Amino acid sequence: MLVIGIVLSVFGLGLFCWLLFTLAIYALPFLAGLTAGLAAFHSGAGVIGALFVGLLVGGATLTFGQIAFSTTRTPRIRAIIGLLYAVPATVAGYQVSFALAGIGMSAGGWQTAFAIVGAVLSGATAVSRMTLFVPPSDGRGTGGTNSPIVWRPHDQTR
């Protein structure tokens, strides 16, 4: 019975880590949606109105952030947009990693060290998931592979 408990604990911790890294990009849209939903609820919109406003704002935050990240060409602007999504994911990753490390060890330096590693990995995951929406470059700075003129290094007919 003890072995089953240990195995299930390992799978449970693995599930929480997988959820943390999968949902890292949604920390900022969730925060924006929650804030807008609470503001709508406190202004008298009711529960249904607050849910609608929260879902709308959260979805818009995610959509506009992905569109802005994928359409801009300037690396500094991409870095700023990436940081906007990575910082809340890093904070959430720190809190979750700290709590998960607290399950297996007493509070102290190692728990904080594991939490910092989890925070860095969570923030890096959020930035890397933002880059999934960027079309591949054709090498000429024009973006996608659907450009009318594509130069290939092995093509010597030019």
Give every CB contact of residue 81 below 8 A, 6+ residues apart in sequence: 65, 68, 69, 72, 130
What's the CA gap between 91 and 93, in Å, rounded?
A: 5
What's the CA gap between 66 and 135, in Å, rounded?
A: 12
CB atoms within 10 A of CB 120: 15
Residue 50 lies in a domain: yes
pTM (predicted TM-score): 0.69
How many distinct structural domains can be found in the chain?
A: 1
Residue 62 lies in a domain: yes
Residue 151 lies in a domain: no
Q: What is the domain range of residue 79?
A: 23-132
Structure tokens at 84: 């906007």
Contact 115, 96 (CB under 8 A): no
pLDDT tens by residue, 14-56: 887 788 777 778 888 988 999 999 999 999 989 999 999 999 9
Q: Quote the strand ranges of the chain, DSSP E.
A: none
